[in-house]
Amino acid sequence: MVRHRAQRRRIRQRRRHLRRAGELPAPQEDALTAAGDTDGVIALATAYADARNHARAEEVLRDALVTAPDNAVLLANLARVQILTRQYDAATRNAYAALAISPEYGFAMRIYAVALDAAGWVDQALCMAWRGVAAQPHDRLAHFVYAEMLM
């Protein structure tokens, strides 16, 4: 989790630069993806996804997964990017892998439900969305995903 105000400010500045240019210079990208910095990798991948550079976002996440293959946060975010690019089967596999590592990870539950729904597994998606609400009853996004599945 990004805790320091200066670090959050640097990430916001890099996101702004990325939105304008569509690509970060290599030294800035290397600083964000430094050894085991999951927050930096997620921030960079999110910035690329926001700039609609999904291929680069996926590449950044896959590169980080080489060094940390059992990181549920990276797997769930990879699944999120794959949903954005309509790779629903791959997104389902990666979200499932994230849940296998961290069964109570709410973001992975939501992403898995959305991926299952998009892949045509509506009953399983509804079950996963309900499981997300049951696991995290105060998470408004879990309720939103469950409501979407019910419609």
Given a cut of 70, is residue 100 above it in pLDDT? yes
Query: For 68-96, what is each residue's pLDDT tens digit?
Result: 999 999 999 999 999 999 999 999 999 99
Q: For the chain, which domains are there?
A: 1-69 (no CATH), 91-151 (1.25.40.10)
> For residues 14 and 60, what is the distance between their CA atoms, to the nearest angstrom?
15
Neighbours of 143 (CB within 10 A): 15
Q: What is the end-to-end Cα distance of the chain in Å, rounded?
A: 34
pTM (predicted TM-score): 0.78
> For residues 123 and 71, what is the distance between their CA atoms, to the nearest angstrom?
27
Percent of the chain residues topping a pLDDT of 90: 68
DSSP 55-102: HHHHHHHHHHHHH-TT-HHHHHHHHHHHHHTT-HHHHHHHHHHHHHH-
Mean pLDDT of 46-65: 92
What residue type is 104 in one-letter code?
E
For residue 134, give every residue at least 6 positions away whose Cβ sits within 8 Å of its Cβ, in sequence order, or none: none
> For residues 123 and 131, what is the distance between their CA atoms, to the nearest angstrom?
12
Query: For 24-47, what is each residue's pLDDT tens digit?
Result: 555 444 445 555 678 889 988 998
Residue 83 near residue 91, CB atoms below 8 Å: yes
> For residues 15 and 34, what is the distance between their CA atoms, to the nearest angstrom?
17
| Cα–Cα nearest to 19, from 42, 57, 47 | 47
Given a cut of 90, is residue 131 above it in pLDDT? yes
pLDDT at 7: 61
